[in-house]
Amino acid sequence: MNTPLKECRESRGNRLPALWRSDIEGVTVLWVALSFAAAFYMIFVHLGLLPLLNPDEGRNASIAWEMQRSGHWLIPTYNGVPYLDKPSLFFKTVALSLSLFGHNEFAARFPSALSAIGILIMVFLFCHREYNLRTAALATVIISTTPLFFAFSRVVIFDMPLAFYVCASIFAGYFAERTDERFQKHWYTICAGMAGMATLVKGPVGFVVPALVLVIFNFLDKRKGAIRRLLSWKNLLILLLIVMPWFIGVSVLHPDFPYYGLVREVFLRFTTNTFNRSGPFYYYLPIIFGTLIFWSLLLPETVIILWRKHKNLTSADRLFSVYAISVTIFFSLSSSKLPGYILTVIIALGVLTARLFDHAMSRESRAEEGVIRHGSFYISIIGTVFVVALFTVYIKPEMINPYLRHIHNPAVSSTFHSLIMPLIFLFIAIAFFGMVGAISRNTKATLIAFLLFPLFIPSMLLPRIVPILSNRSDRSLAAKIFHISRGAEVACFRCFPEGIPFYLERKIMLFTSSKGSEMRSNYIPFYLSKTSMWPPHIRKVKDFRSWLINHRKPVFLIVETSQKPQLGALMGKYRKPMQYLRRDYWGEMLIPQGES
């Protein structure tokens, strides 16, 4: 029997009642509250606990700190040298966050976390409009618990803000073709504007990806004139009006930037292995399966179902399918590959996984129920295997201790042993709920089984790995340097710990053997090779001895372990026994003659 509510829903084409009502499946605002509570928990709990991770977090936070300090918003600098590897928008947001929340890791990571929440809100609203409230809630919690999304929401890096603007552009382009003509231009204005903002975050990929997805989608969706409307001169003009002021301003101050930005950073990055980030064509397949973690158990059968039912998919289903496939293929064709490039693919797959659970919960399709039931068996088996393995290690720790000793980090061993018992109970629960879901076909039990491990990470795992990362972080290194140097000038010999400028809040003297490549920037060596006017705190290694002889202020010198012999030969009579800072770094306080 059709209820009035069901008839109303069908007549409105899958539109939903207001959030405070219950829809046909009995989903209420409680679902929404729980899904966003889980999302905020995954993204914000212990956000500032871990030290900045190198190279990306340390470098990006240092650049943002310099921008905050100098007030120069157009040209980012890294240790006082122009850094034009990426546009300045992301650094501006981090600099503003540092001004708002203080000089700490939480403030540096807050823009990424905020972008992640923004994405989840957009996905929720999209799914609420196109599917139903339950799918919206499921998509929110599933996406937030995928490791790639979780990780990039917590690091000082471009990918999450880029994903926010790319998703906004794609969703706006989608709605532009599904609304009244009077509102269409407004949606396309948002689409072009968000693509422009994405470009200001990470360059041309910001508008290429939304255009690629929407062109392919509209072509397959057979929307007459949609591609022409998408690529209209008005939309292109909006894009240019957002991007060109920045591009022209940077090009005026640095005439070499158009060549570097368009040829080296775009063309050569995509077509060659210039930046040493190559990988096979299938590079992203294991990345997708690995970063979906247990959700990937559902992926193969879900793909089969989508293929078999591709003619009956809704328009939104086709959008997310095109989204996942086209972006994966696009970056697979690129010669430069990094896991973060397909962050938005994980978002699209998260929505499709939510659709799978929604269909299984509503008992609308035996096929979807079968996928969930198989996934329940798989995760139950995995949980059981982990319980047996971990319990064996617990009663016989000598089995694993020899392997832990090879890591040469006592914190790893203590952390692992402290986690064994919590992990045993965790995987017992995973195996239990997985088996309940498989035997009773209880999809909610299956969902709990899939969520337990990701929900374990923020509160249980992160605090325990702080000692491990601290031994390798620039936070602990900076603390030692600050204690020993007593405010003296800090110099690095053929090395550059990326987070040192951020933690010490100062520029660092660098003696470089290869035009500043120690700073791990692509633009800085390019820039230094084109100019003879190097900053006074960036010098060549061959100038080190003369600098040392003529220097009249105390300096704390940092060197990598592998460079100690070369440095010792150059220091001559100034050579002293070096102090251990970290496994890969040594240092020495040099006091010029005449100073105490």
Distance CA 9, CA 340 (A): 38
**Residue 26: per-residue pLDDT:** 52
pLDDT at 310 over 90: no
Range ranked top by mean pLDDT from 209-218, 270-279, 511-520, 555-564 = 209-218
Phi, psi of 15 (to 5 degrees): -70, 160
Question: How high is the pLDDT of residue 409?
Answer: 63
Averaged over 551-578, what is the pLDDT? 80
pLDDT > 80? residue 249: yes
Give the pLDDT band of residue 513 (cuts 50, 70, 90): confident
Task: Name the pairing type of β-strands 489-493 and 555-560.
Answer: parallel
Question: Looking at residue 589, what is its pLDDT?
Answer: 85
Report pLDDT for 406. 56
User: Which range is least confidently modeled, 34-48, 250-264, 404-418, 485-499?
Assistant: 404-418
pLDDT at 271: 72
For range 300-312, the mean pLDDT: 85
Tens of pLDDT, residue by residue over 69-112, are 998 899 999 999 999 999 999 999 999 999 999 999 999 999 99
pLDDT at residue 403, rounded to an integer: 63
**Mean of all residue pLDDT scores within the chain:** 87
Over 80: is that where the pLDDT of 592 sits? no
- Report d(CA 332, CA 319) in Å as an integer: 20
Asked if pLDDT for residue 19 goes beyond 50, the answer is no
Answer yes or no: is pLDDT of 399 > 80.
Answer: no
**pLDDT of res. 591:** 76
pLDDT band at 6 (very low <50, low <70, confident <90, very high): very low
Q: Residue by residue, what is the 3-state secondary structure of 349-370?
A: HHHHHHHHHHHHHCCCCHHHHH
321-340 confidence digits (pLDDT tens)? 999 999 999 999 888 888 88
Specify the pLDDT at position 573: 61
Q: Are the CB atoms for 145 and 454 separated by under 8 Å?
A: yes
pLDDT value at position 48? 93
Residue 20: pLDDT above 60?
Answer: no
The count of other CB atoms within 10 Å of the CB of residue 180 is 6
CA atoms within 13 A on the CB side of 222: 1
pLDDT in tens, 519-557: 989 899 999 988 888 888 899 988 888 888 888 888 899
Stretch 583-589: mean pLDDT: 86
345-390 pLDDT, tens digit each: 999 999 999 999 998 888 767 888 899 999 999 999 999 999 999 9
pLDDT of residue 16: 39
In the chain, the amino acid numbered 110 is F
Task: Write b or e for each residue in 338-366: b if 16 or more Cβ atoms lie within 10 A of its Cβ, otherwise e.
Answer: ebbbbbbbbbbbbbbbbbbbbbbbbeeee
With a cut of 60, say whether residue 14 has pLDDT above it: no
Q: Give residue 9's pLDDT band: very low, low, confident or very high (50, 70, 90).
A: very low
Instruction: Please determine, for residue 437, whether its predicted confidence score (pLDDT) is greater than 70.
Output: yes
**Using 50, 70 and 90 to split pLDDT, how confident is the model at 166?**
very high
Which residue's entry shows tokens 């203080």? 102
- pLDDT surpasses 60 at 7: no
Banded model confidence at residue 216, pLDDT cuts 50, 70, 90? very high
Backbone angles phi, psi at 316, to 5 degrees: -65, -40
Is the pLDDT higher at 502 or at 264?
A: 502
Tokens of 471: 């031994």
Confidence of residue 275 (pLDDT cuts 50, 70, 90): low
Q: Above 70 in pLDDT, residue 142?
A: yes
| Neighbouring C-beta atoms of residue 415, cutoff 10 Å | 18
Which one-letter amino acid corresponds to residue 239?
A: L
Query: Pairing between strand 77-78 and 81-82?
Result: antiparallel
Query: Between the ranges 54-68, 304-318, 479-493, 517-531, where is the mean pLDDT highest?
Result: 54-68
Res 312: pLDDT? 83
Q: Does 23 have pLDDT greater than 60?
A: no
Q: Examine the pLDDT at 575 and tell me if it is beyond 70.
A: no
Q: How confident is the model at residue 3 (pLDDT cuts 50, 70, 90)?
A: very low
Angstrom distance (rounded) from CA 71 to CA 42: 33
DSSP assignment letter at 104: S
pLDDT of residue 82: 93
Share of the chain above pLDDT 70, in %: 90
Mean pLDDT to the nearest integer, 310-317: 88
**pLDDT over threshold 90, residue 593:** no
Does residue 1 have a pLDDT over 90? no
